[in-house]
Amino acid sequence: MEHLQRQGLTLEQRNYRVAAGPGKPGGEWDLILRERDGTLVFVEVRRRASGAHGGAAQSIGKSKQRRLVLAARHFLRRYATPPPCRFDVVALDGDHLEWLKAAFEVNTP
């Protein structure tokens, strides 16, 4: 998180969790931060011992993305007019940190 704060983001919330319902997995954002321009940045942090087998960033499949979007939508309900937001991933492969801005998008129907 310190890396992101050094880039000018401020912490809104850590470990935001939401349940999807009985027997259904919910979603959790590791960090929710705010850019200087007001954009909310939802951050999933993934760690792997090495970059083998696709690495940390590749471990976020479509199912995980759906659960993250569920949690983001729940968080955004607190705003009468939701601010702009984006979904980032911080991937830690061994000692290598990679910050993937706008790692995935939400396709709204």
Residues 50 and 94: beta-carbon distance below 8 Å? yes
86: tokens are: 């984006």
Q: Phi and psi (nearest 5°) for 8? A: 100, 5
Cα separation, 93 vs 103, whole angstroms: 16
- Model pLDDT for residues 5-56, shown as the tens digit of each residue: 888 999 999 999 998 777 777 899 999 999 999 999 999 998 876 555 566 6
Residues 33 and 11: beta-carbon distance below 8 Å? yes
Q: CB-based burial of residue 90 (10 Å sphere; 0-12 exposed, 13-18 middle, 19+ buried)? A: buried
Cα separation, 103 vs 56, whole angstroms: 12
- Model pLDDT for residues 76-89, shown as the tens digit of each residue: 999 999 999 999 99
